[in-house]
Structure 1
Amino acid sequence: MKKLILFFSISGLLVIGIISYVVYWAFYDMERLPTGEFFTEETSPDGKYTIKAYVTNGGATTSYTVRGELVFNEQNNRTKNIYWNDGEDTVNISWSDNDTVIINGHTLDVPNEKFDFRHQE
């Protein structure tokens, strides 16, 4: 009986883990975003970071989107997506200090903050 309970417990945890990963992959993983066409870039005042902005045309049925990619200039140009917004086809990037960037009116503290329109209320 204990083996049966253990089997179903492990199986249940495995199924929950797989479902959780699929939900994350499908709805939260910003590294799966479309590349888009390069639009502009701005480097932080201290040269530590660069934000590269790309505009994506989703076709006739969806609006334009903007993707902002943070480049770590001092770490072999490692990149991380930090901005994804729907309904934008232009990009305005400005740095208010070495670690704070404003992208189309959204203020982000890099490298930890992100903006993703899919998860805004």
Structure 2
Amino acid sequence: MRTRAEFLAARRGRRLNGPHFLIEALKRPDEAPPRFGLTITRKVGNAVERNRIRRRLREAIRLHAGADMVRGFDYVIVARREILTLPFDELSRELARRVRKTQLAEPSARTPRPGSE
């Protein structure tokens, strides 16, 4: 995923919050291969730390969670600072577990966020 519109669209989908990251998943109308996007805000750290988090997440997706991603879904992973110190095996397991869980979770009827209307 590359455009802001794609990231914002994923916010309307399923949402799984966790201690290390948040996953937002949206079912698209097509059955194309799954897409993912990473969001690491400046609050998390400087550019070096954000890039290290990004590399760790991409590798965890490539090795473990990518196989669990479902065709026709967009996934946005919003990272938190704890990913820097989290052991890679634990990060991979947690990411794969949460991606599998997005398939089972029903979209919740969330209240709109302030300012989103």
Instruction: State the TM-score, normalized to the length of structure 2.
Output: 0.30
Structure whose CA Rg is larger: 1
TM-score, normalising length: structure 1: 0.30
RCO greater where, 1 or 2, for CA within 8 Å and sep 6 or more? 2
